[in-house]
């Protein structure tokens, strides 16, 4: 309880500094507009139809890419976790893939799909699939062989093993996998929109940055950060609930 108060105090301190330092010209308000102004701008932006459209486009891209990447990545992940040989072959490759900036493939997606909705979705799904794959493999491998042996010794069928052993014991990890994949997915959509696009929040943010519209820019940053944190915390709460039995 005390710690929550301390954390809130810390947050209040940061926000107060953001408001007061530029307000009193200690920090250049042209570079960092006071928090009040930024929040005012955020309210104003949320009224604009152009922003509504951008939010809609970005949300659609995020959702479609996620819906494509999760089953695909999960299937591949289960494959490399269940099949020892495929795992031996591909797991080291995945680690290399993680150290490569996936953004360098953006030009290829643009060449194939043009600067379009499909290009954003394809790029985001491409990068997210790798993460889902890795986390799915980790989730499958986390199921203890003992649990399976016990289930089998009591004569559980394949379906029963799947539903009553695999799913519950993987649940916390599955949620974590979904959460992390979503972070990746969101980032990928943002990068793709900021790189080359005609629509979406990322496009707006990049434009505001180029035109030095700092209030709009910070309002956009706050909006996106708030959405990301809200999603993350919701799933983390679910995770905590599903994993009360974990020590």
Partner 1 sequence: MRRSLTLPAPATVRRGMLVAVLLLWELVPRTGLLPELFLPALSSTLAVLYEDWRIYSAALLVTLYEVALAMVIACGGGIVAGAVVGGIARLRDLLLPVFSSLYAVPIVILYPVFTAWFGVGPESKIAFAGIYAFFPVMLSTAAGIRTIDPQFIVAARSMGATLTQQVTRVIIPASLPTVFAGLRLGGALAIIGVVVSEMLTAAAGIGYLVTLNRTILDSPRVFAALLMILILSVAYYMLARAIERRMVVWQSAGRSPKAARPENAVVVPA
Per rule CB under 8 A, is residue 210 in the interface with partner 1? yes
HEC string of 5-28?
HHHHHHHHHHHHHHHHHHHCCCCC
Contact 61, 117 (CB under 8 A): yes
Contact 179, 239 (CB under 8 A): yes
The SS3 of residue 200 is coil
x/- binding map, residues 159-198, to partner 1, per CB under 8 A? --------------x--x--xx--xx-xxx-xx--xx---
**DSSP one-letter code for 46:** T
Of 130 and 165, the one with the shorter C-beta distance to partner 1 is 130
Applying CB under 8 A, which part among 64-72, 73-81, 150-158, 211-219 lies near partner 1?
211-219
Contacts of residue 142, defined as CB under 8 A and 6 or more positions apart, other chains included, come to 169, 170, 173
Tell me the site size for partner 1, rule CB under 8 A.
64
HEC string of 74-90?
HHHHHHHHHCHHHHHHH
Q: How far is the CB of 20 from partner 1 (least distance, A)?
A: 19
Q: How far is the CB of 179 from partner 1 (least distance, A)?
A: 8
The SS3 of residue 34 is coil
**DSSP one-letter code for 165:** I
Q: How far is the CB of 92 from partner 1 (least distance, A)?
A: 7
Applying CB under 8 A, which part among 16-24, 51-59, 64-72, 220-228 lies near partner 1?
220-228
| CA distance linking residue 37 with residue 59, whole number of Å | 26
Q: How far is the CB of 147 from partner 1 (least distance, A)?
A: 17
Query: Residue numbers of the site for partner 1 (CB under 8 A)?
Result: 3, 6-7, 10, 31, 84-85, 88-89, 92-93, 95-96, 98-108, 110-112, 127, 131, 134, 138, 142, 173, 176, 179-180, 183-184, 186-188, 190-191, 194-195, 202, 205-206, 208-210, 212, 214, 217-218, 220-221, 224-225, 228-229, 231-233
């Amino acid at each position: 309880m005390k710690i929550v108060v301390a954390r809130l105090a810390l947050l209040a301190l940061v926000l107060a500094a953001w408001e007061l330092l530029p307000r009193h010209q200690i920090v250049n308000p042209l570079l960092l507009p006071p928090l009040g102004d930024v929040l005012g701008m955020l309210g104003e932006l949320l009224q604009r139809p152009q922003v509504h459209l951008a939010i809609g486009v970005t949300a659609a891209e995020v959702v479609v890419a996620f819906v494509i990447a999760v089953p695909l990545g999960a299937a591949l992940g289960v494959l490399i976790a269940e099949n020892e040989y495929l795992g031996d072959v591909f797991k080291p490759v995945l680690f290399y893939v993680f150290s490569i900036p996936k953004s360098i493939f953006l030009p290829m997606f643009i060449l194939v799909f043009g600067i379009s909705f499909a290009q954003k979705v394809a790029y985001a799904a491409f990068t997210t699939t790798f993460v889902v794959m890795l986390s799915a493999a980790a989730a499958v491998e986390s199921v203890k062989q003992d649990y399976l042996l016990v289930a089998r010794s009591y004569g559980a069928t394949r379906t029963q093993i799947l539903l009553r052993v695999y799913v519950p014991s993987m649940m916390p990890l599955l949620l974590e996998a979904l959460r992390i994949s979503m972070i990746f997915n969101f980032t990928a959509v943002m990068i793709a929109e900021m790189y080359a696009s005609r629509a979406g929040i990322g496009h707006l943010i990049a434009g505001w940055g180029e035109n030095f519209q700092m209030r709009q820019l910070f309002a956009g940053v706050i909006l996106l950060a708030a959405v990301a944190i809200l999603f993350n915390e919701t799933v983390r709460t679910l995770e905590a609930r599903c994993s009360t039995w974990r020590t």
